[in-house]
Every structure is written in C-alpha cells, then in structure tokens.
Amino acid sequence: MRRLVLGVLALALAAGCGRAPDREVSAPQVTRTEPANARLAGLSTYPRFGDRDPHEWAARAPWSYPVHGIDVSRYQGDIDWLKVRRSGVSFAYIKATEGGDHTDAKFRDNWRGAGAAGLKRGAYHYYYFCRPAAEQARWFIRHVPKDPDALPPVLDMEWNHRSRSCRTRPDGATVRAEARKFLNILERHYGKRPVVYTTVDFYRDTGIGQLSGTEFWLRSVAGHPQQVYPGESWSFWQYSGTGQVPGVAGDVDLNTFGGSPESWLRWSGQI
C-alpha cells in the first residue's frame, strides 16, 4: 500500500471530500451456496503471478502458499474483476477511506465489481495521524456497508513520508492507544475484529505488534516475514508492490494468506 498512497492528499481531496456515498454500494452480496468441497477444489492450484520487479526469495517463497489476493485503490483505474478472479485471485482488499474526510474515488465501483465477480472482498482505511481515531472510525463506518459476507475491515497504519499536511509522528504508546480505539469502534459496528496492516519501519518505530488480540498484515517485499518481523504471527503477507495480474492495468500489490485452503475458508466465513 505504500506505493499507492504517494501524493494521496491531493488525489484524495478530488475523490469527494465530505461526500456521503450512495448506499446502494452494499449490493450485490456473495452467497454461500457453493459446496465446501468445490471451494476447496478451486484452491488446489497454487497461483503464481507476474512481477515487474521480481525478488529472488532465499526463504519460503510466497507462491508456496495457496491463497492469494490483491489490494487496490483508485490508482489501479478500471478493473476487470472477472479476469482477476479467473487468474487465481481469491480475495481483494479495497481502499475505502483515508483520515476523516477523504474517500477513494473507485471504492464503490471496486466494491460492486469484486462482489459481482464472486471474490471475497474487504475494505481498508488509511490512517491519518492528525485526526482523532474515533473520528476516522466514524468516517469509515459512514462509507463502508455492513455486509455479513465481507472480510474483516483493515486498518492501514504506516508513515506517510510525503504528506504535506501532517508531519506528526506520535510515539508508540499514542499510536497503539489510538489504534485500539479505532479497532474497538469498528469491531462493535461490524462484529469482526479488524486486521492491522503495517510496514517494517512503522512496526519497529511504534511497537504496533504489542496490540493484543490483533491479527496482522505485514508488508515485506524483500524477505519472508519470519526474517523481517522475528517472532510476529501474521494472517496476510504483502510480498510485492509491482505485481502483474490479468484484469488490472499496471502494477498491483500482491498478498498471500498465511494458512491452508481449509483455514482460509473458515477465516473468511465460507464454511
């Protein structure tokens, strides 16, 4: 996600500052009528996607995991979601909001498109360190529908090195306290504990890994998370920011789930 947020202030302002979304965004929903064994069969082939800037993995490679997904925002433009699903992608996390007054211009289109294609989908919020956590949580809730079939929300916490409007870098205790407020508000509303996405420098600077009862999505594009985040457990691993996926024009972030096909189906509420 780091690459996707460069210059995000000016672009996000253009995305509809302060505008409430069309509530039809909640449709369509993915139903659970497909037998579990058929869903497992669909995960039997481990996908491997192209990469504009591939890394030679010394430890376990990401394509040794069975379940892969992408995260997207307005920067990917128009997406052919059927092609994305047919390429082997199992899930998509879609940028919804940033701070307390920015929405992603493609969220509604991406949310509908991913759902219509039958992909498991979730929404993420890019945290802004110059607004209270509670205010940002309410902004996310205002724009992201309560869909029982959606994946848990994601809180994206990383330093924005190029922000022109917010140079604040809170200490670790403040970051963790604000993160807890955000996570608790969303959990009460959606009934699912959000996942926290983070980067190597932010993780080291803030001790965000100290959050108890929290699942993590770790960015590590030059080493396995076991090497880069020693001792940290993870649910998702973002292993590339330069992936090439059919249906997406240009680069896209690639991610893998850290468990088996069966554990993915349970985690995502499909069985």
Q: Catalytic residue numbers?
A: 71, 158
Q: Are 238 and 254 in contact (CB under 8 A)?
A: yes
The answer to whether the beta carbons of residues 98 and 125 sit under 8 Å apart is: yes
Cβ pair 106, 74 in contact under 8 A:
yes
- Rounded Cα gap, residues 252 and 261, in angstroms: 23
Cα–Cα distance list, 177 to 101, 141, 172, 212, 216 (Å): 21, 20, 9, 12, 16
Say how far apart CA 78 and CA 84 lie, in whole Å: 12
The CA distances from residue 130 to 99, 136, 164, 241, in Å, are 8, 10, 12, 26
Helix axes 133-143, 172-190, angle to 10 degrees: 30
